[in-house]
Amino acid sequence: MKKAIIAVLVMVFCSNIGFANVQQEYIERYLSDRKLDSIEGVWAYQHGKHLSIFYQDGGELRVVAIENGEVRCNMYYPVNKVGENYYTSTRYAFKGENKGRRKNCKKVNIIINYSISINNNNMSSTASAKGYPTLTSHGFRIWPTDIVAHNAKFKTKEDIAEEEKILADMVADARKTCTVLGFEDGSDKFADCTLKLYTQKVDELVAEKVAANTRMMQSQTTTTTQQSSGSQTMTIYDPVRDNQRLIDQGMKMLSGRCTIGVDC
């Protein structure tokens, strides 16, 4: 009996090592150094016994299934994004003599259709095939534990352009309002007026971000209580830092010390 228990513990330990090695390989190769889509990352099912890793490769969204520390035979199949947090996938079923070993797998002429929805760190998916019952599964994200904080580290050119456009519109609105109020462009009163109005807009923008961040953290707290494994961390949004950054950038634009889209 004692030997049997030791054997089981060894198998679990080796399986966990396999999970960690394969998981880290995909994270480092495809995920860690860029902004991620809502579905991308490492997802766990059945209390962490099975993993799915969603990632972009060559412009194509893919998923690989990990079981017992090994890549399953039905590896590398494409996923299509059909909405902000909704995805579909279609693939052939696979069958193998030795479960989990792709070299012994054979494609079966059965087409499986997947429908996947993402809600923060939760995933729900349904699988259907002609002549078979529909199956539903639920998973939770184990990496990155906070995708919002992860993505905040990486800004795309589109993100930067959008932020600069918002700031430029805020500056333009402030200048226009002060002109309508009768202040002469270039005067000290005009500068005070535009700065005051711009600062108010920044405060409103930051307040919206704080509210969104609070909702996200509340949702993550709820998600954490539903999960049985995987560490959970949350990054607290810093409104003071963001407020000051936006004000400094706006003041440069107001004073003409930078040009939008060039050196702001």
Q: Who wins on pLDDT, 99 or 177?
A: 177
Residue 213: pLDDT band (50, 70, 90) is low
Q: Which amino acid appears at position 87 of this protein? A: Y
pLDDT above 70 covers what percent of the chain?
Answer: 69
Residue 3 has pLDDT above 50, yes or no: no
Domain ranges of the chain: 2-148, 155-255
Q: What pLDDT is attached to residue 16?
A: 44
Q: Examine the pLDDT at 260 and tell me if it is beyond 60.
A: no
pLDDT of the residue at 189: 92
Structure tokens at 248: 């400094």
Residue 28 DSSP symbol: I
The per-residue pLDDT for 127 is 94
Query: Has this prediction a pTM greater than 0.85?
Result: no
Mean pLDDT of 72-93: 86
160 pLDDT tier (thresholds 50, 70, 90): confident
User: Which tops the pLDDT comparison, 46 or 204?
Assistant: 204
Q: Which residues contact 75 (CB under 8 A, 6 or more apart)?
A: 64, 65, 102
Can you give the pLDDT at residue 100? 44
pLDDT (average), residues 16-39 = 83
Mean pLDDT of the chain: 77
User: When comparing pLDDT for 18 and 114, which is higher?
Assistant: 114
17 Cβ partners below 8 Å, 6+ apart? 69
3-class DSSP state for residue 173?
helix
More confident residue, 176 or 5: 176
Nearest to residue 41, comparing CAs of 50, 33, 49, 52? 52
**What amino acid is encoded at 189 in this protein?**
K
Neighbouring residues of 137: CB distance < 8 A, sequence distance ≥ 6: 45, 124, 125, 126, 127
For the domain 2-148, what is the CATH code?
2.40.128
